[in-house]
Amino acid sequence: MSDVALLVIDVQESFRHRPFWTEADIPRFVERQQALIDGTVARGIPVLQVLHLAETGPFSLESGHVRTLAPIVIAPAAVFHKRRHSALVDSGLAGWLTQHGIRRLMVSGIRTEQCCETTTRHASDSGWQVDFVTEATLTFAMTHPDGRRFEADDIKARTELVLTDRFARIATVEQALAGRTLAAAA
């Protein structure tokens, strides 16, 4: 059994119903996310799906939107539901990882700087090695309270900056699947 697992965090239809949603980066994200899922399955690495839940709105079970974002195809080894930013809080995920001897996580999903980054920090602080697969994450432009606009690529670059060599190794899909990272490939 592999000591590595792929986390697919919040890749769910709920986001299509948020006011910031845009299709701009979806084709690239879907292609990279699917390549990562397919690559892990081919290598016998467990794929773990994490879905975010809320009491009301598009993240509530009643909305019908808490399901895999189309057209992603995933047959996870396990599915976890969370109500916090970190997928490791009160979801059962941490126990599953420990029980299955997982030592390294590949993190992917939506949103880069929120649930993916928070889970990465939490996992690192809890002793897991983490490969943050930025190209298999998705986020959206944001406006700072002072009026400055940060594009999705700006936010992704900032996330890589603060995670690199502190909480995670930044990896492309291919590097994560090979167990290598940007630093190791240089």
Encode pLDDT of 102-158 as tens digits. 999 999 999 999 999 999 999 999 999 999 999 999 999 999 999 999 999 999 999
Band of pLDDT at residue 179, cut at 50, 70 and 90: confident
Of 13-17, 23-27, 70-74, 182-186, the range with the lowest mean pLDDT is 182-186
Nearest alpha carbon to residue 32 among 166, 185, 168, 175: 175
**Cα–Cα distance measured from residue 71 to residue 143, given in angstroms and rounded to the nearest whole number:** 29
Fold of 4-180: Rossmann fold (3.40.50)
Provide the residue ranges of all domains of the chain, joining segments of one domain with +: 4-180
E-strand stretches of the chain: 4-9, 47-52, 78-82, 104-110, 129-138, 142-143, 149-150, 169-170
Per-residue pLDDT for 163 more than 50?
yes
Per-residue pLDDT for 183 more than 90?
no
- Structure tokens that stand for 30 in this block: 């879907």
